[in-house]
Structure 1
Amino acid sequence: MSGSVVLLHLAGAVALMLFATRLVKTGVERAYGDVLRHRLRATMRNPIMAVLAGTGLAIALQSSTAVTLLVGSFAGSGIVSGAAGQLAVRGAEIGSALVVKLLTFDLTLLVPLCLIAGTVMFMATERRDWRQTGRILVGIGLLILSLEMIGQASEPLRNSQLLPVILNYFSTDSITAYLLAAVITWLFQSSIAAVLLMATLAGRGLISPELGLVLILGVNLGSSLIAPMLTRSASPEVRVVPVGNLLMRGLGSLVMLILFMIFRPHVAFLGPTAADQIVNAHILFNVVILLAGLPLAGLVYRASERIVALGAKPAPAAALDVVELSALNESAIDVPSQALANATREVVRVCETVEIMLKRIIELYEDADSDKIKALAALDDRVDRRHAAIKLYLAKVTRNPMTEDEALRCQELIGACVKLEQVGDIIVRNMLVHVKKKFDRGLEFTDEGWSELCAFHGSVLANARLAFNVLVSRDPETARQLVLEKDRLRDREKETSASHFMRLREGTAKSVETSSIHLDTIRDLKQINSLLASMAYPVLEERGLLTGSRLKAS
């Protein structure tokens, strides 16, 4: 087999590994993302719990970078302290390393089991949570399969005459090997994928343990660069945690490289095989960084703040974000097609504002103050202003001759705008009242009740995004899925209420205290979901997919 064919097979196996890793990550985010985020926020006030929460979330998402970005956004919003954020990221690195260790075991039997179970779950139902679980299982199966493919693809390299020369060079030039591993990790955007690739090649005898240790240090440098680069355009508050991670993990890897080059320690204690030694070295490095990071978290955070402040751009004299642009061009009123397009753009902006409100309201249930409450109320005022402007604009448009399709689209936009305003009112006039009541009385949900609320809210938020997509694309399949989700949410509401009443019967103190808030919140979220789902009806009616207000059997 020629060298180019071997490299092609190896590249394909690596590509499958990267795709499988992303498949698992997106599946977890879509199915459990909101619950995991709320759980992370709730546990980060305690340093030890912050580490454990970061570890668990990294294992679930299979990405320490995702946790770093998430924690950075929390710190930027003032939800968590910067020192706690640093500790959560330290835990995330441990979790990422443990994922690598788990995947190095012989898991070949899981490949067919995961692929079969995942495919059946994804194709046999329309339930979002089941389909995402199926996606996760398929991703795990493909990830394990890709590791086998890498091993098989790299087998012919043992007989290569050129490869030993290249590897011998890197064994004598630790700095180049270190930088090359950092670049590879940056290209992969995943330390898990990079370490797995190196461990697999080491298991085939292609990489020596000593070279593997240098490469592992380079992987940690490259991984620590990903989050700061991805957040380079973000606000300074958001960038502090990623920069702190770079200071601890990136500089830590450089210090370890210098020590390794000076002392050249034996690596046999790390494991019986080269692959085990590489993976265990990765875990050991991150454990050392964690232990060093516990007492240094505050110092690192302050240093990160100073570094970010040095590179921060001065605020402009006039803040442009306070200027509200409008797509409602008065000169286009006489051309209904153009005017309706303008109105659609403006309604989409209302959708964006409502989505922000819907995301923030559940956060206020856990952490609220007067400033955050005022900010949310201000968003509702923005929705009201744009709603009034859109109605007035469309009223002017209807004075001109319009086709039947244009008239229907005009009514659809007006109806969508009314529903969006009603959603905003429910959030501010109902749910915000629950928030104030909860904090005024110092109430706390049970863990089970809070998880149920977060899961229910996550489903409503996902359906809101479907509704906004339907408004723009008018895709009948998406509209049909949205209405089906409405029915499923009704079933979930019954299950949630039944669980809540079960806790009431058991006399759980927190459930009794928060009962009205819990049930009222579920009711409000269900009402919001119904309003948003009804935005699909015009599309379904136009294609004859509704009988009255129900879907026809497909």
Structure 2
Amino acid sequence: MHLSAILLHLTGATMLLLFAVHMVRTGMENAYGGSLRSMLGAARQGHCKAAAGGTAMAIVLQSSTAVAMLACGFAANGILGVSTGLALLLGADLGSALVVRVLSFDLGWLVPVCLLVGGVLHLKFSARKAREIGRMVLGVGFVLLSLRLIGTATAPLRDGAMLPSIANYLAEDYVTAFLVGALFTWLVHSSVAAILMVATFAGQGLVPLEAAVPLVLGANLGGGLIAFWLSRGMPPAAQRIPVGNLLFRAIASCAALALVETTALPIAALGYGPAGALVNVHVLFNAVLVLAGLPFITVMTRLTGRLLPAVEASTSDDPSQNRVTALDRSVIATPRLALASATRELLRMGEFVEVMVRPVMDLLRAGDSAEIGRVRDIDNAVNQAHTDIKLYLAEVNRGIMTTEEAARSIELTNFAINLEHAGDIVAKNLLVLAEERREKNCRFSSEGWAELIELHTQVVENMHLSLNVLISQDLPSARQLVLEKEKMREMARHTHDRHLRRLQSGTPESIETSGMHIEIARGLKEINSLLVTVAYPILTRSGDLLASRLANPNHS
């Protein structure tokens, strides 16, 4: 086989691997995004729990970078501290390494199973969660398939002279191998994919362990570079987490490289074959980094604080102060462009509401006055956006518009009103309950709290779907959103009935928080109902929405 054909096959297999890792991560975020955010919020209970939570999240997302970006988002909103975020990322890196360990096993038999099951779920089921689970299963199958294709594509290179020469050079120049591993990982934006490829090369006998170990250590440094690069435009509070993690990984990988090159460590004895030994080195490195890094979290927090000092109050993260409006007054005379501008601003308004809704359960559980106040202040940005959008659309309506454009303007105005109401429910109801719970120091029953968490998770997931419907105007997504409202109604009825049964049985926590439990459930249900309204105009136009829920609306 010619070299060009080998490179073509290898490049295609590599892109399939990157695409497959992305599929798994996207499917998990779409299906369980709210649960992941709740898990991240719960990780604030201590460094060890944060590290454990980061490990679990990285395993399900197959990416420590995805965990890092979630943590940065929470830190930017003032909900997650730097020290907790650093512990979270140390655990996430270990979780990512465990994913590599699992995927490196000989799982060839699993490829057709994953492709069959994932394909059926993704293509034949209409429920959004089932389709996203199918996407994840397909992604796992593609990962395993791509690794087989990489092995097949590189097999002819064993008989050539070029790759062995490069591998031998890297084996002698471990610094270059280390830098190549870091650069390659940053370029492909996936440490999982990079290390799986290096392990595959080592298993094929194309790269000796003397070169593969520095490549893997460099890949660990490159994994830290990815999150650092992606967060470069975020506020300092968010950037400190990936910067601190990068410093941890730089110090640890350089120390490990020096240890490997100056001592005769029995690397080959760590596994069955070069590939297994290499993956075990990767897992061991990250496990040691967690144990060694956790005691120095406070020191690293102070260091990142000095490297990235907080901005002054006048340039704070308050959305009402820093946001740039999407309402373009230069296109008011062109309704089509003006409506697009209003839609973008409405999306920003929805994102503000999401920032308010997302931490509600954390604030109800253990929020202090400062945290509650920060979230309540965001309601000012929501109210301002609501006013700006209404006035902007009113001015657009004074011009000449088609019937469709006029209808769209009304839809956008109505949804802006509903989003403003959702923000008020958080600020004037749920946050008031959070303050009341903190002052009285009362506790929810474990069963009741789990039910409220489930309701909140559903609301956050539906919020993402509603904002997607706002932009895409997609009919299947609109149908799914209304179906999710029915699911939410059943969940609210279920938690109400179970709560009453707990009151009848005399559960002390349920009696203590009875009014709060009912109010929280009602507030979350009402927020969800307001979000679903974005789907009604789409379903009305398609004829999928009934004019009345009555069995016989004309009966007198």
Q: Do they superpose with TM above 0.5?
A: yes
Aligned to 1:459: 458
Give me the identity figure in percent: 44
1:155 maps to a residue whose letter is: A
Aligned to 1:230: 230
Provide the alpha-carbon RMSD of the alignment.
Answer: 3.2
Contact kept? 1:34, 1:454, Cα under 8 Å: no
Q: Does 1:257 align with 2:257?
A: yes
In the aligned structure 1, how far is the partner of 2:484 from the partner of 2:368? Answer: 33
Note the 1:295-374 alignment, pairs <5 A: 295-309=295-309, 322=321, 340=339, 343-374=342-373
Q: 1:249–1:547: structure 2 CA closer, same or farther, 3 Å change rule?
A: same
Q: 1:18–1:541: structure 2 CA closer, same or farther, 3 Å change rule?
A: same
Q: Does 1:203 align with 2:208?
A: no
1:308 maps to a residue whose letter is: L
Contact kept? 2:315, 2:321, Cα under 8 Å: no
Q: 1:206–1:81: structure 2 CA closer, same or farther, 3 Å change rule?
A: same
1:193 maps to a residue whose letter is: A
Q: CA deviation at 1:183?
A: 0.9
Q: 1:462–1:212: structure 2 CA closer, same or farther, 3 Å change rule?
A: same
In the aligned structure 1, how far is the partner of 2:195 from the partner of 2:344? Answer: 45
Q: Does 1:516 align with 2:515?
A: yes
Q: CA deviation at 1:507?
A: 5.8
Aligned to 2:554: none
**1:90-122 per-position Cα deviation (integer Å, ceiling 9, x unaligned):** 222221111111112222222222222222222
2:423 maps to a residue whose letter is: G
Note the 1:368-447 alignment, pairs <5 A: 368-392=367-391, 394-395=393-394, 402-446=401-445
Contact kept? 2:50, 2:88, Cα under 8 Å: yes
Q: CA deviation at 1:465?
A: 3.5
2:308 partner SS? helix
Q: Does 1:154 align with 2:178?
A: no
Contact kept? 1:387, 1:418, Cα under 8 Å: yes
In the aligned structure 2, how far is the partner of 1:343 from the partner of 1:71? Answer: 30
**1:55-94 per-position Cα deviation (integer Å, ceiling 9, x unaligned):** 2122121112222333344455554543343333222222
In the aligned structure 2, how far is the partner of 1:244 from the partner of 1:255? Answer: 17
2:516 maps to a residue whose letter is: I
**1:173-221 per-position Cα deviation (integer Å, ceiling 9, x unaligned):** 1111111111111112121111111111111111212222111111111
Q: CA deviation at 1:251?
A: 1.9
**1:136-195 per-position Cα deviation (integer Å, ceiling 9, x unaligned):** 211112112222222222221211122211211111111111111111111121211111
Q: 1:329–1:245: structure 2 CA closer, same or farther, 3 Å change rule?
A: closer
2:45 partner SS? coil
2:265 partner SS? coil
Contact kept? 1:35, 1:451, Cα under 8 Å: no
Q: 1:259–1:388: structure 2 CA closer, same or farther, 3 Å change rule?
A: closer
**1:355-390 per-position Cα deviation (integer Å, ceiling 9, x unaligned):** 333234344223423333334433334434444454
Q: CA deviation at 1:430?
A: 2.3
Which is worse superposed, 342-351 or 428-437? 342-351
Contact kept? 1:203, 1:273, Cα under 8 Å: yes
**1:226-258 per-position Cα deviation (integer Å, ceiling 9, x unaligned):** 122222222222222212212221121112222
In the aligned structure 1, how far is the partner of 2:387 from the partner of 2:323? Answer: 15
Q: 1:317–1:44: structure 2 CA closer, same or farther, 3 Å change rule?
A: closer
Aligned to 2:538: 539
Aligned to 2:14: 14
2:83 maps to a residue whose letter is: A
In the aligned structure 1, how far is the partner of 2:104 from the partner of 2:329? Answer: 64
Q: 1:43–1:472: structure 2 CA closer, same or farther, 3 Å change rule?
A: closer
2:543 partner SS? coil
Q: CA deviation at 1:543?
A: 3.3
In the aligned structure 2, how far is the partner of 1:315 from the partner of 1:385? Answer: 20
Note the 1:238-249 alignment, pairs <5 A: 238-249=238-249
Q: 1:4–1:388: structure 2 CA closer, same or farther, 3 Å change rule?
A: closer
In the aligned structure 2, how far is the partner of 1:44 from the partner of 1:308? Answer: 22
Aligned to 1:62: 62
Aligned to 1:278: 278
Aligned to 1:143: 143
Q: CA deviation at 1:278?
A: 0.5
Q: TM-score, normalised by structure 1?
A: 0.88
Q: 1:509–1:199: structure 2 CA closer, same or farther, 3 Å change rule?
A: farther
2:108 partner SS? coil
Contact kept? 1:44, 1:53, Cα under 8 Å: no
Q: 1:62–1:346: structure 2 CA closer, same or farther, 3 Å change rule?
A: closer
Contact kept? 1:212, 1:278, Cα under 8 Å: yes
Q: CA deviation at 1:332?
A: 6.9
Q: 1:342–1:550: structure 2 CA closer, same or farther, 3 Å change rule?
A: farther
Contact kept? 2:121, 2:134, Cα under 8 Å: yes
Q: CA deviation at 1:439?
A: 1.8
In the aligned structure 2, how far is the partner of 1:506 from the partner of 1:226? Answer: 53
2:255 maps to a residue whose letter is: V
Q: Does 1:90 align with 2:86?
A: no
Q: 1:219–1:475: structure 2 CA closer, same or farther, 3 Å change rule?
A: closer
Q: 1:475–1:47: structure 2 CA closer, same or farther, 3 Å change rule?
A: closer
Q: 1:76–1:168: structure 2 CA closer, same or farther, 3 Å change rule?
A: same
Q: CA deviation at 1:515?
A: 4.0
Which is worse superposed, 152-161 or 458-467? 458-467
**1:384-410 per-position Cα deviation (integer Å, ceiling 9, x unaligned):** 444445445555655566543343234
Structure 2: 5+ residue runs without aligned partners? 551-556
Q: TM-score, normalised by structure 2?
A: 0.88
1:546 partner SS? coil
1:91 maps to a residue whose letter is: G
2:41 maps to a residue whose letter is: R
2:101 maps to a residue whose letter is: K
Q: Does 1:194 align with 2:194?
A: yes
Contact kept? 1:51, 1:88, Cα under 8 Å: yes
Q: 1:49–1:381: structure 2 CA closer, same or farther, 3 Å change rule?
A: closer
Contact kept? 2:83, 2:298, Cα under 8 Å: yes
Q: 1:513–1:334: structure 2 CA closer, same or farther, 3 Å change rule?
A: same
Which is worse superposed, 11-20 or 508-517? 508-517
